[in-house]
Amino acid sequence: MDTVVQWNICGFRNNFEELKLLLNQWKLAVVALQECRLGEGQMPPWGNTLLLPQGGSPGGEAALLIRNGTRFSEIDLKTGLHAVAATISLEKTITVCSQFPSFETFSG
Instruction: Give one DSSP letter per residue of 55-66, joined into a string.
Output: T--TT-SEEEEE
pLDDT in tens, 12-45: 888 989 998 888 898 899 999 999 887 666 677 7
| pLDDT band (50, 70, 90) for residue 103 | low
* CATH number, domain containing residue 32: 3.60.10.10
Find all residues with CB under 8 Å of 5, minimum gap 6, and list them: 22, 26, 28, 30, 31, 32
Instruction: Identify the CA nearest to 49 among candidates 24, 34, 71.
Output: 71
Q: What share of the chain is helix, strand, coil (3-state, %, to 5)?
A: 15, 40, 50
Instruction: Identify the CA nearest to 48 among candidates 26, 34, 64.
Output: 64
Domain span including residue 10: 4-105
- Against a cut of 0.75, is the pTM above it? yes
Find all residues with CB under 8 Å of 74, minimum gap 6, and list them: 51, 84, 85, 86
